[in-house]
Chain A
Amino acid sequence: EPEVTQTPSHQVTQMGQEVILRCVPISNHLYFYWYRQILGQKVEFLVSFYNNEISEKSEIFDDQFSVERPDGSNFTLKIRSTKLEDSAMYFCASNYHQGGEQFFGPGTRLTVL
């Protein structure tokens, strides 16, 4: 059964460094999402992406964040200059139909030191 994959599973970085989190959505899916979960808090929506552009972004998704679908398979989240408060679990999700079940990846744990 196809699954969303994410790499790396754990990323440790220094404050101020750039990180790129990678996701491979399920191959025929059209809608892509990033969520994050700070330890002990709820899963929060960051951004949704469709037809090669952002369809919605949250207040969290400021100028430090960007997303890209550089080829037909990858969907990346870039944080330009990481802050301590960016430490969280980042989940990628995808679906085929708007409103359909969102399929989640296993997450990338980002630790900013």
Chain B
Amino acid sequence: AQRVTQPEKLLSVFKGAPVELKCNYSYSGSPELFWYVQYSRQRLQLLLRHISRESIKGFTADLNKGETSFHLKKPFAQEEDSAMYYCALSSGGSNYKLTFGKGTLLTVNP
């Protein structure tokens, strides 16, 4: 069975501070990992995926298979980063359903 764990329900930082949102996963095969973001009153949207290895809005995430982690990081948080962040796993195969973590609400204070 596949599982995604986001241990922090809430995370509060000050503007300009580094931020790290933790994500651990459990899956026996080779997963594909994503970070989705939901800004206030907006829909879920993809922030980044591990296979693209991009930096979006200053965020990066590295897949660590040894630690089964996919933590999201940004060196200098901005107020507009305040949102709900969901880590998600796709198992591939014949179906690409997403398994989500519970989400972390990030608040960036001025």
Residues of chain A touching chain B, judged by Cβ–Cβ distance below 8 Å, are 3-4, 31, 33, 35, 41-45, 48, 55-56, 58, 91, 95, 98-99, 101-102, 104-107
Pick from B44, B94, B101, B103: contact of A55, CB under 8 Å: B94
Top 3 A-B pairs, shortest CB-CB distance: A56-B95, A104-B44, A43-B100
User: Which residues of the partner chain B approach A105 to less than 8 Å between Cβ atoms?
Assistant: 43
Residue of A nearest to B101 (CB): A42
Q: Are B98 and A45 in contact (CB under 8 A)?
A: yes
The reply to whether B97 and A33 form a contact with Cβ atoms under 8 Å apart is: yes
B99 in contact (CB, < 8 A): yes
22 contacts between A and B (CB under 8 A): A31-B96, A33-B97, A33-B98, A41-B102, A42-B101, A42-B102, A43-B86, A43-B100, A45-B97, A45-B99, A48-B95, A48-B96, A55-B94, A55-B95, A91-B44, A98-B95, A99-B32, A102-B96, A104-B43, A104-B44, A105-B43, A106-B42
Q: How far is the CA of A107 from the CA of B102 in the complex (A)?
A: 17
Q: How many residues of B contact A (CB 8 A)?
A: 21
Which residues of chain B are within 8 angstroms of A31 by Cβ–Cβ distance? 96
The interface residues of chain B lying within 8 Å CB-to-CB of A102 are 46, 96, 98
Given known contacts A101-B49, A105-B43, A107-B43, A48 and B97 CB-to-CB distance under 8 angstroms: yes
Contact of A56 among B32, B36, B94 (CB under 8 A): B94
Q: Chain A residues near B102 (CB, 8 Å)? A: 41-42
- Give the CA-CA distance A48 to B95 in the complex, in Å: 8
B99 lies within 8 A of A101 (CB): no
Report Cα–Cα, A4/B42, bound state, in Å: 12
B contact residues around A56 at 8 Å (CB)? 94-95, 97
Contacts of B90 in A (CB 8 A): 99
**A72 to B6 CA separation, bound complex (whole angstroms):** 38
In the docked arrangement, what's the CA distance between A31 and B32, Å? 17
B68 interface residue per 8 A CB criterion: no
